[in-house]
Amino acid sequence: MIIGISDLIGKKIKEKKINMSFEGENITFEQEEIEFVEPINIEGIFTIAGDIINFDGTIKTTLKLVCSRCLEKFNYPLEIQIHENFSKFEDNKDDEIIIINDDKVDFSPIIETNIILSLPMKRLCSEECLGLCTVCGTNLNHSTCNCEKNDIDPRLAKLRDFFPN
């Protein structure tokens, strides 16, 4: 998604509001395919301060993720506050400033990075997710199994004699 900011760079205006929606392309992160269920909505304002162009806004969308416990796909609504700084001048050596080469900003990598950084470490379909049986692999959210749950580490089995229950 490319946004033209030539009027800001030319200092014809001091701020530019945007409210756009576009279809996102799936992201592959750590061998997981992250799908967009609905379009990405981006809303915010560009402001200029000297040679720096600031963007403050929000990204809203819904992703389809895989649950870490039961391995089923679920919808994950996402709303991210973003703040980015841009400059056309390469003498700005600040790591926080994105250098742009022309009068346009490509927001696709910025959106992708912000989405990846905002994902939870452990993606759960719900807090009550029971996950999979460690013996037979049955999804415990949908059915039960009769597997014997003897998950005591054999190195610590003697300690069980000290504690009857």
Same domain (yes/no): 19, 85: yes
Same domain (yes/no): 80, 118: yes
Nearest Cα residue to 39 out of 66, 19, 16: 19
Same domain (yes/no): 100, 134: no
Same domain (yes/no): 113, 139: no
- Band (pLDDT 50/70/90 cuts) for residue 156 is confident
Same domain (yes/no): 108, 35: yes
At residue 7, φ and ψ (nearest 5 deg) are -65, -30
Question: What tens digit of pLDDT does each residue of 67-116 get?
Answer: 999 999 999 999 999 998 887 766 656 667 777 777 777 778 888 888 88
Same domain (yes/no): 13, 86: yes
Same domain (yes/no): 116, 136: no
Question: What tens digit of pLDDT does each residue of 11-22 get?
Answer: 666 788 888 888
Q: How long, in residues, is the chain?
A: 165
Same domain (yes/no): 140, 102: no
pLDDT at residue number 64: 92
Question: Hey, what amino acid is at 53?
Answer: I
- Band (pLDDT 50/70/90 cuts) for residue 8 is low
Same domain (yes/no): 20, 58: yes
Same domain (yes/no): 67, 26: yes
- Which structural domain range is residue 28 located in? 2-126
Same domain (yes/no): 79, 160: no
**CB-CB contact of 41 with 20 (8 Å):** yes
Same domain (yes/no): 91, 154: no
Q: How many domains does the chain have?
A: 2
